[in-house]
A and B are shown apart, each in its own frame.
Chain A
Amino acid sequence: EVQLAESGGGLVQPGGPLRLSCAASGSTFSSYPMNWFRQAPGKGLEWVSYISSSSRTIYYADSVKGRFTISRDNAENSLYLQMNSLRPEDTAVYYCARDLTGAGSYQIYVDVWGQGTTVTVSS
């Protein structure tokens, strides 16, 4: 069973950069699209970014477009999120998660999540 482990979170000043990593166990990482989600303190879940298995297709939430960059290295079983121009409202727990399309109708969902890494943007 695949497991995901995020790292790279921490305290950063407004306007600063931070790079998150997500290490995947197992040999099937390269077969699946991946996502980043986040959850601000005491708030709900927010989708941040998506990358296809080949990296050809990438999407961002409007709230991070132009500031965040998602990437992956299938040879290293790793997913990344480069975050620039950070704002206090980016403070959250960030989760990497696997995207899955099942064989049946309507089966598109996120089935494996990492434990999360905390990003705090504050001066």
Chain B
Amino acid sequence: DIQMTQSPSSLSASVGDRVTITCRASQSISRYLNWYQQKPGKAPKLLIYAASSLQSGVPSRFSGSGSGTDFTLTISSLQPEDFATYYCQQSYSNPLYTFGQGTELEIK
């Protein structure tokens, strides 16, 4: 199985901050990497697919980059509605998807 490791596990930041979350795969997954946002009690929401493509309707302050084993999700200027948990997911071994453990983004 492909293991996905996110860092940090939690992060405190302020509105307006630039934030970066990292995801590392246990083997090369090319660009088969997606990012999801999940708020408490809600289903995950797709933000980024294929490492850097923005899902329709997602604000442009979200961006993704990387390939191979190392990937990043960046939020350029945090908004109040961005405080949530973020998950990376590999689709290289589709449909045997695996996720990172999540990064909880909290208000400082």
Contacts and interface: CB of A to CB of B under 8 A. Distances in A.
Query: What are the 7 closest A-B residue pairs judged by CB atoms, nearest first?
Result: A50-B95, A113-B43, A108-B91, A106-B50, A106-B31, A47-B97, A109-B49
A89 interface: no
Contacts, number: 71
Given A44-B102, A110-B34, A114-B43, 11 more contacts: A33-B95, A45-B89, A45-B99, A47-B96, A95-B44, A97-B43, A106-B32, A107-B50, A108-B94, A110-B89, A113-B43
Dominant secondary structure at the A interface? strand
Contacts of B97: 35, 47, 110
A99 B53 contact: no
A104 B46 CA distance: 17
B14 interface: no
Contacts of B44: 45, 95, 110, 113
Interface in B56-108: 87, 89, 91, 94-102
Interface of A: 33, 35, 44-47, 50, 59, 61, 95, 97, 99, 102, 104-111, 113-116
B7 interface: no
B20 interface: no
Interface of B: 30-32, 34, 36, 38, 42-46, 49-51, 53, 55, 87, 89, 91, 94-102
B95 to A, nearest CB: 4
B91 A116 contact: no
Contacts of B46: 109-111
A104 B98 contact: no
